[in-house]
Structure formats: C-alpha cells, structure tokens
Structure 1
Amino acid sequence: MSKEETDKALSISAAASERAEAPAVIDHGKVISYRELLELVRQKDKELDDSVPYHLTASPCLDTIVSVFALLERKQPILLFHPGLTDYEKRVLAESVAHIDQKLPEDAAVILFTSGTTGLPKPAVLTRRALIASAEASRGNIPLNHDDVWLLSISPARIGGFSILTRSLAARSAIALGPKFKVEDYLRTMEEAKITYSSIVPTMLMKVFDEAPDWRPNPRLKALLVGGAPTSVKLKEEAEKKGIPLIMTYGMTETASNVVTTPFSLRFHKTEGSGRINPGVELESRDGHIFVRGDMLMSGYWGRKPLEKGEWFDSGDIGEVGEDGFVRIFARRTDMIISGGENVYPAEVEEALERLPSVKNALVLGKPDETWGSIVTALLVPRDKDQIPKAEDIVKTLEPYLAAYKSPRRIAWVEELPKTSAGKPNRNPACLDGLMLTSLHYSGKH
C-alpha cells in the first residue's frame, strides 16, 4: 500500500467523507457516526500540544479513541501508557525515554512499551505502514466489513486493543465500548451493541464459561479472537460443543498484533496450536526458535539499532510450523524450564493438569533447585476447594500424559493464579514465596 493510501486509511477525515452517517463508535449504547466523531476529533485537536511523542494514557473509552484518531490525523507519534500504572510507574517509563536522542522514523505512529521479562519494558516503535500492513494481513483471513462492530474490551495501551482502533478505522467499521469486564455486563453489551467481533484473553473466556454456562452466541457474532496467552484444549473443546466461534491468535507488540490466526472457515472447530500464518507474513522455525518477517514489523526499539528492511525478527518464542501449516507455540524462551538437563514447556504441563476434573486452572513455573537447576512446580486452582485430591492420585492420573521429568514435583493449591501487570501468567519464582508447597515426587536435597 502506498504512503497516500496508508494516510487515507488512518484518516478520520477521509473516513467521515466516505461514511458520514455510518456508525463509528457505540459508546455504552449511544451511536456516534463518523461525521460526529470527526467533530469530536476536531475539538480534541485544539486541546493537544505538539510534543513528540505525545504522552497518552489509553483506556477503553471514547476520549482515548478521539485522542488517538486526532493524533493519527496530525501524524503525531503517540507514546502510550497503560491506565493501570501508578503515577510513579508512568514517570519512570517517561524518564526512560526522555533522553533518547535517536530521531523517530518519519512515519512513526505509536510507541508501546513491551512487557519485558527483566529490567524496564522496551519502547517498540510501530509505523503507520506497519499498522496498515498488520490490518491488511489480518483482514486477509478475518473479514472486516462496513457493518461489523468490534467490542473494545481490552486497553488500547496494548497492541491487541490498539489494533482494534486502527483496523476498524481502516475498514470504516464500528467500535463498541462497554463497562469494565464482568461476565454479565460483557454478554449484555455483546447483545445490545450487536457485536460481530470481540478480542479476549483465555481467562475472560473461562469466566464466561464458568459464570454463564448456558450462554450461546447470537448468530451475528462472527468470532471471538483469543490471544495473549495459551488457550487450553479444554477451552477449545468446550467452545466447539457450544457452537462458539473462536479464532486463536499469536502475535506481539513488535509485529503490530497477530501474525498467526485460526482460518476463518475453521472458527467453529477445535484446531491445533495458534492457527496458520497470516497472508503477507513470513514466519519460520529455526532450531525451534520462531522468526518473523514482513511489513508489519516494528521499526525497532527506540534508542536501539533499528531493524533493517527485510530483516528477520527473533520473536523469543519456541515453537514449530507443522506440515499441516499450523503454528504451535510451546513457550517463551525465558519461560522454558530446564530441569535435570531436560527442557520442559509450561503450557504442555498446564494442559495436562487442566485435564484433571479437580483442577480449574494451572500455572507451571520453575523453582530454583541445587540438584536439578529448576524443579517443575505447579500452582493449581481447585474446582471445589472441599475436594482436593491426594498427591499420589495426581501423579498417577498424569502418568499417561506426561513424561516423569515433566510432571510437577511440587504443587500448591491457590485461590487464583498470579498475573503480570499485562494480565499474562506470572512465572516469576518469587510468586512461590510464602506458599506451602506439597511434594508429589522428588529426588535430591530439599
């Protein structure tokens, strides 16, 4: 797509000239047309300063949408902050980029902080070209038309939320806003706003199944896009039984959202892994490490060496591309547990644990150990806290599914699983501090 076409796709003025009276935003039931949204953007433009990048705390609300579209119209780069951060955390992040003297790319659109596993999050720079390339790649599999409505139920400070804004603007479709996620409110908004797409994380889907077991989707719903963490086979199977269309996604901030998705035609069926590679994306596995290339890649981390045009990006994930074309992600390289010289992928162990009728949720991490390097440790949320199984019964039940070196050696039953500030599973061993761990099987010093 040419620069002129990209600028037009991300222009609220162009959208309003094409679809003036069409719905642009459904704000808690109130329909705002593209013409009306343009007026709000013009008012907001008068309030904005010329700082580069412009600092914006992005919540799933109308003011954020208006601000983002106003800044995209200005072609003014945006530095996004998550609304859950404290003022201190925002100040630390702002200071971390304040003295960067590297000039931003001419078409820089947004800078998002990656979650990071150590140290401060890194500022990933996404250009206008990358955002539209991502939207086009996604649209090559997931049809997004004028009459579609995408529910914004996650923060635009994360690429999964921000891409809903840019994809919807480029497609001249509508964005719906609703209250903070609660199952009852979420399902009511889905119905009242006539939602056709919604992006959620596995935890949200699990809550829907737990709290609204009889819910079935309205025929208008084309798909729930599920990403941000591995989705268990159990969840996929339950969705298939209930006729709920799921599209698995795999992507990251650095790739301007998903690069792998379930084929649209298979959304009512349980599928393998995270789906197939999006049109226009190059993805390959080298010795088990996932590399990505394409126009949707970031220009680089601000303040560090930029990516060269056509350069392959090391995702930091471990996975494979099967002969069937499906991509299977096993773990983040930093999440992999090395126990006694053997590689253990947490998601595989979690999937086996969640097969147990007594286990509602599982989180697997490595506990540092003198003898083994790390020992496989699991935090488990029970389905019924009054019916906790014996340790030996858990070991016996897991035997058909896991090699002995993968099976958890220590467990603790908890009320809920720890999460990072980004809402992803927290596998930091510090999460085990203060917990009473039960030994299932163990060889070596305690």
Structure 2
Amino acid sequence: MTANDPFDLVLRSTRAVLPDAVRPRPAAVGVRDGRIAAVGEYRAPYTGRVELDLADTALLPGLVDTHVHVNEPGRTQWEGFASATRAAAAGGVTTLVDMPLNSIPPTVDGPALDVKRKAADGKCFVNVGFWGGAIPGNTAALRSLHKKGVFGFKCFLADSGVEEFPALTVPEMRKALREIARFDGLLIVHAENAEALAAAPSSTRYHDFLASRPAAAEDSAIAAVIDAAHEYRARVHILHLAAAEALPRIAAAKARGVRITAETCPHYLTFSAEEIGDGATEFKCCPPIRRAQDREALWAALADGVIDVVVSDHSPATPDLKHLDSGDFAAAWGGISSLQLGLSAVWTGARARGRSLADVAQWMATGPADLVGLPAKGRIAVGCDADLVVFDPDAAFTVDPAALHHKNPVTPYAGRELHGVVRAAYLRGEPITGVPRGCFLTPPEVR
C-alpha cells in the first residue's frame, strides 16, 4: 500500500481538536486499518472509500472515562456492559475503565477478573479496561492481578457502601501502596477520612447530608495518601475530588515531586449545594456536591493543572435504592448516572467560562488516556487508534431521562439544558452501531 492509495475513511472538519492546539482548527484526517494514517490541512487531497465533510461540526478524539461502575456481574439490574457501553458511545466515550465494585465478585483477585471479563465478552460497544481492588487481606494478590492486566488498584478510606468491598485503614493503605510501588503500579483512592465523617441523619434536607461529610474529611485523607506516596515514591491518584480545601495540598505535593494526580467529575463542575432541594436524592453522591465556591475552585484548578482529568464516576442504581419516594438522603444510594451526559455537561460549563473544546479534550480524552498508559487513545495524531467523535458544540438539548441508554436513567440532569450534541462516534475508524465491537484493553507493560 502506498501513500497515494485511498484511505478507508476521510473526515474533514473546520473544528478539529488536535494535540497541543489551543483551539480547534481546520483539518482532514485519513484513517487506514483502524488507525489514523494522516492528519493534514482541511483541503488536503486525500481520497477515501468513505469521505465525510463535517463542515463546522467539531471532530474530537474519543473520550476515555477511567471511572465507571458497570456493576456486572452480580448487580446487573443496576447496570451492565451492554447498556453502559451503549451509553458511553452515545456520549462520545470510546474507552472506559470499569471499577472493581459494585460487581459480585469484586475484582480483587485473578479469578474475579476472569469472571468479569467473561461477563463482558461480546457485549461491549466501546473499548473496556479494568481496575483491580485493594481491600483488607488481598495485598499478596496485587502483583498477580497487575500481571493479569488491570490498570491499577482502587481502595476506599471510608465505607464503600457494599459489604464485599471493605475500606482500608490508613496503615492498610500504606501496606498496599508499598507493595504496589514495588512494581510501579497505580493506587487510586476514594479519599475521605472515615474518622472525620459523621453518621448522616435520616433527613430530607441536603444540608444535613452535606454536613455529615465535611470538606475536612477529604483534605485529611488526601494528606495521608500524599505522605505515603512521598515515602514510597509511589504513584497515586485522587478520585472524584469535590472539596476546594484540598487543592493547595495537592498543588504543593505536585510541586515537590510527589507522583500524584487528581480527578473531578461533571456533577461537581455543574451543580452546587445551594440549588439542591429537599428530598432531591438523585443528587446524592460521595463525596457530596459542595458549594458554588467549591465548584468554581475546581474549574480554576483544572485550568491551572492541579486537577488533571474529568471523568464520570458513573455509579447507577435502581430507582428504589435512590429512595425518591421518601427523599431520605441517609437511606439513598450515593451515586450519579452521567456516562452519556458528561461531555455535554462539561462543555456547557467550559464554554460559559471561556474555555475551548481543546481544554475539554485534554481533560476528558488525552489526560485520562495518559493516566492509564494508553498513548494510542485520546488524541487525533498519526499512529493513534481512530477512535473519534463528531460533536456539534453549538447545538443544545434538554435532558430527557427516557432518552438515555443507562439501564436505570435516574439523573440529576433531568430537565436541564445542555450544550453540545454527539452526532456520531467511531471505533477504530468504523461508526459505532448496533454491533458490539469493543476490545478489552490492558496496560502496555502487560501487553
């Protein structure tokens, strides 16, 4: 095959989001054998078996969501690989990494990973990877689980909400991290200090729930993670950061060379505690959605690079577990379904704050791909996988839960107007349709 042979696919856009570009620019992208073979000027003389001129509709790299609870097997009535990956594709996510809970069994050893892969086989519409879990008593299994292909290990420093995935104490977290550092693995941490949390009272008032999980619980837990990462020269990642109080501590740790990254989520960037009404348990998540000033501090931290990535923390449950009838925040499951809506939600907030689509792609595609070591994902560049998203940033829509692909589309975004519509998604140069073509992914050192 020569350079003059036609490509399998040619896409042209006046708003293509390319690596290191501050703003989208006109470009043509040629795809061959599932990979990006050429990136040139908008009017480059490329020919393809399929050619599409997107005009002013944007072309983005496929998003990489490294924080998704698929829940299959065991709690498949909450979500499943078929429904989750359909929702992902509809939201512009072409790669996701599944959390080790709330499936049964949790992914805490090699046999459990085999069960998870078997459950997912043939059902995935996007690429899927897997996190392992670090729980009390499984430190000896972490290295073998790493060798089997998980991208890292999740632990909780407070109650996870499910009995089969208990939290670690700080000494247990340090023990696990010391072992993970020996093979340069990654520990990702739900960082809330259990001792700083109060029992949530039975109440329909969001303020009461918020008061039970103060910002200091995040800050003190993050301090413990930073101390351990510094001592062991280990890689750590802070999950779903909600509290502005912890940002200076993370920034200082980065400045002194601690190998730490952090994420936040669309719901923390969109909502604020002040707007959550009594009984609105669809907003419950842990850590909780905090004040508007916390939200704006998170946006500033993204711009400054203190926060590295934005991922969904898609954590669905059946409607009865959200206790929408009683509105009791203490009883309700803590999790938000947003996998299909994350790109639009973040773009809505970003455009209102003068940020560009290039920023969004860095936070939601390139950054997460780098976090888990997938250099061929999350960017439009020669040699990368042709996982692409056609995105209309100027269109708007009102969220209708019935139109979502999530198995249980209870969402706090219901009725909210968002900007940006995914028009199409491509996996290895082929449009994502009704045939599941997703692959299982493993870290490069395992491959």
TM over 0.5, yes or no?
no
TM class by shorter chain equals under 0.3
Q: Indicate the structure with greater strand content.
A: 1
**TM-score, with structure 2 as normaliser:** 0.27
**TM-score, with structure 1 as normaliser:** 0.27
